[in-house]
Amino acid sequence: MNFMFTNHNEHEIKSILGIPSEKAFQKEKDKFESGYTTFNRSFEFFLIFEKQVEQIIGSCGFHTWIMDHNRAEIG
């Protein structure tokens, strides 16, 4: 996700992610930069990028990442 925030402007990112406001944009940017964390679980999300056309074509990530047991689900 950091690639998206360093290579696309705010308007493009809002369009790609369907973000309606500046406040929502900042919240998503903060999440992507620091990762999602709740109690003993963490979430990491990544964008799938098509190099030939330089376009984001999807996303994936680890969720329900239980830090105590070093395991996660992929989604």
pLDDT tens digit string along 12-67? Answer: 888 877 788 999 888 878 777 766 555 555 667 788 888 898 888 888 887 776 76
Neighbours of 20 (CB within 10 A): 9
* Structural tokens at position 4: 């998206």
Q: Tell me the C-alpha distance between 36 and 7, whole Å.
A: 22
> Angle at which helices 22-34 and 10-17 pack, to 10 degrees?
90
Q: pTM for the full model?
A: 0.47
**Total domain count, the chain:** 1
Provide the domain limits for residue 12: 2-74
